[in-house]
């Protein structure tokens, strides 16, 4: 029979063992590499943080996150980390099968993605927040009014008028992006939700995301776009 001191010692050992095992488990949002080839946990690195936001974090923003990560890796842009979240997201849902399908067609495996809601601390710490619709912009401003200066719509990125030549450092390039002239607000700048629609709607959304992502990478990454292999 164990005396109280021995029971306490054994309990401490069990707690330490459980903590050690938990450290080995991947964080749901760390399962996929970032464009820098590192695991991303928003707010915990010194790299530039870009946050993609939609509603449920199972269709548009995961596709945007995955496509931007892929584009950054292709360009060798190692100073940026990307994450995604939803304004009304449940925790732990997989991306929609149709979203995974259109990503897989592009050679991107994003099956490890799990949905999560926007975190206020992460939102305020992000360097750039890319929303899918004007509704998301309003919701994010309602959460934290001060983030308004770093919000942009995905489809706005294609039409923003950037200064040329581009700045020599990433921070200045981001400042140039955020200060660029934007198109007049209109319904066509919203990226429609493909939820509940056939896979063709997801493909259309992914194609629109690709245009925005390429414009964003062009604005932030150093050097020209690499030639296609």
Q: How many CB atoms lie within 10 A of CB 33?
A: 12
Question: What topology is assigned to 26-220 in CATH?
Answer: Rossmann fold (3.40.50)
- Check if 109 is active-site: no
Of the listed 60, 69, 116, 173, which one is catalytic? 60
Paired strand residues for 69: none
10 as an active site residue: the answer is no
Q: What are phi and psi of 206, to 5 degrees?
A: -65, -40
What DSSP assignment string belongs to 82-141? Answer: EEEEETTPPSSPPPPHHHHHHHHTTT---TT----BPPHHHHHH-SEEEESSHHHHHHHH
Catalytic option among 12, 19, 114, 164: 164
The pLDDT tens digits of the residues spanning 90-101 come to 999 999 999 999
Which candidate in 54, 59, 77, 221 is catalytic?
A: 54
Q: Say how far residue 25 (Cα) sits from the centre of its chain.
A: 21
Tens of pLDDT, residue by residue over 146-189, are: 999 999 999 999 999 987 667 889 999 999 999 999 999 999 99
- pTM value? 0.79
Buried b (16+ CB within 10 A) or exposed e, 181-216: eeeeeeeebbbebbbeeeeebbeebbebbbebbbbb
| 204 has catalytic annotation | no
- Give residue-wise pLDDT tens across range 32-81: 333 333 344 444 347 999 999 999 999 999 999 999 999 999 999 999 99
3-state secondary structure of 53: strand
Concatenated DSSP letters for 72-97?
HHHHT--SEEEEEEETTPPSSPPPPH
The residue ranges of every structural domain in the chain are: 26-220
Q: Is the pLDDT of residue 17 over 80?
A: no
The rounded distance, in Å, linking the Cα atoms of 212 and 225 is 14
């Amino acid at each position: 029979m164990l005396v109280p001191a021995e029971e306490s010692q054994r309990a401490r050992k069990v707690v330490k063992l459980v903590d050690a095992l938990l450290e080995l488990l991947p964080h749901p949002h760390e399962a996929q590499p970032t464009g820098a080839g590192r695991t991303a946990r928003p707010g915990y690195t010194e790299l530039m943080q870009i946050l993609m936001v939609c509603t449920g974090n199972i269709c548009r923003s995961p596709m945007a996150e995955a496509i931007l990560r892929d584009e950054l890796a292709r360009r060798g842009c190692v100073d940026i980390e990307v994450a995604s979240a939803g304004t009304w997201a449940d925790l732990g849902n997989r991306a929609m099968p149709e979203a995974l399908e259109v990503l897989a067609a592009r050679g991107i495996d994003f099956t490890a993605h799990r949905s999560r809601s926007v975190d206020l601390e992460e939102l305020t710490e992000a360097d750039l927040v890319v929303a899918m619709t004007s509704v998301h912009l309003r919701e994010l401003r309602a959460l934290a009014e001060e983030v308004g200066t770093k919000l942009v719509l995905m489809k706005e990125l294609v039409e923003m008028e950037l200064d040329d030549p581009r700045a020599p450092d990433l921070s200045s390039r981001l400042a140039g992006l955020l200060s660029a002239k934007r198109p007049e607000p209109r319904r066509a700048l919203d990226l429609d939700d493909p939820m509940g629609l056939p896979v063709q709607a997801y493909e259309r959304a992914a194609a629109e995301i690709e245009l925005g992502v390429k414009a964003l990478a062009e604005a932030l990454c150093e050097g020209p776009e690499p030639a296609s292999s």
